[in-house]
Amino acid sequence: MARCVDCLGPDATIHCPSCLGDQAWCGPCAVKVHSRLPFHQLQWWNGLFMR
């Protein structure tokens, strides 16, 4: 699994195609980071989005 780019936790399951790069966050960090970016569309990683 990816690491959260904010807290470096091992459970980064949320991806944002509107942010640059292949960043991923855990749930709380994704909400925190995107509280100021309401136009971004977060994607919860599941089978469909896994590469």
CA distance 10 to 25: 9
26 belongs to the binding site for Zn ion (CB under 5 A): yes
- Select the residue interacting with Zn ion from 7, 13, 43, 45 (CB under 5 A): 7
- Select the residue interacting with Zn ion from 2, 3, 13, 19 (CB under 5 A): 19
CA distance 48 to 34: 22
Cβ neighbours, 10 Å, residue 23: 17
24 belongs to the binding site for Zn ion (CB under 5 A): no
Q: Which residues bind Zn ion (CB under 5 A)?
A: 4, 6-7, 9, 16, 18-19, 26, 29, 40
